[in-house]
Amino acid sequence: MLLINCSNREKNCYKILHSIKSKDDKLISLAHKKMDFCLGCQSCQKELPKYCVLNDYITNNVYNEILKEDNIVLASPMYISNINGILKNLIDRFNTFYNHQLLKGKKFYLIMTGFATKKENEKEIEGIVEYFNGITEYMYFDFEFLDYFVDSDSQDIIEENNNKIELIKRRLNNEK
């Protein structure tokens, strides 16, 4: 399984992914990585040896890691009521997989964290789930929202959420 931290910090999202990672899983972090925006050039719709004309961490590392795994867990902080820019940018960069249906059979899971409670972010989470469910049809992957965690700068987010972490681990173990 592949776990991708989409926060630009290695804090809440990273800690949660680290706590659910088992020894055969790979955790990569997009924090402070060189990551360019899609140029919109559509070169990726042709046969490109490196999937994308951009020369960054996504082209050189992330694409290959995604292609190797069937189950991919994404973690993003809630930013202004939505997924953060890094995750959206990553999804835009999935354009390279689209034409050749390279994500077919893969399953993406999403974990989110935010300051507000899960209840307070209920509508936002609903919108995000709707967005992902909407793109599964033409991106050819499955999607499941795993859980939302409340930010915990003062206390340890893992200690506070042991039960949720255990449930996620059990859920993901069923897929292996």
Q: Give the nearest distance from C-beta 2 to ligand FMN in angstroms.
A: 18
Comparison of 141 and 148: residue with beta carbon closer to ligand FMN: 148
Q: Directed axis angle between helix 12-20 and helix 162-173, to 10°?
A: 50
Among 23, 46, 49, 80, binds ligand FMN (CB under 6 A): 80
Comparison of 78 and 102: residue with beta carbon closer to ligand FMN: 78
What's the CA gap between 172 and 165, in Å, rounded? Answer: 11
Among 2, 7, 30, 164, binds ligand FMN (CB under 6 A): 7
Comparison of 17 and 103: residue with beta carbon closer to ligand FMN: 17
Beta-bridge partners for 142: 107
Stretch (H or E) spanning 14 = helix 12-20
Using CB under 6 A as the binding criterion, the count of chain residues that bind ligand FMN stands at: 16
Compose the 15-54 pattern: x for residues touching ligand FMN by CB under 6 A, - for all others.
----------------------------------------
Nearest CA-CA partner of 121 in 81, 80, 157: 81
| Tokens (6 digits) for 132 | 């992902």
- Is residue 59 a contact point for ligand FMN (CB under 6 A)? no
Comparison of 62 and 114: residue with beta carbon closer to ligand FMN: 114
What's the CA gap between 138 and 79, in Å, rounded? Answer: 26
Beta-carbon contacts of 139 under 8 Å, excluding residues fewer than 6 positions away, are 94, 97, 98, 103
Asked if 20 and 3 touch (Cβ cutoff 8 Å), the reply is yes
**Segment lying near ligand FMN (by CB under 6 A), choices 6-14, 18-26, 86-94, 160-168:** 6-14
Applying CB under 6 A, which residues contact ligand FMN?
7, 9, 11-13, 77-81, 113-116, 121, 151
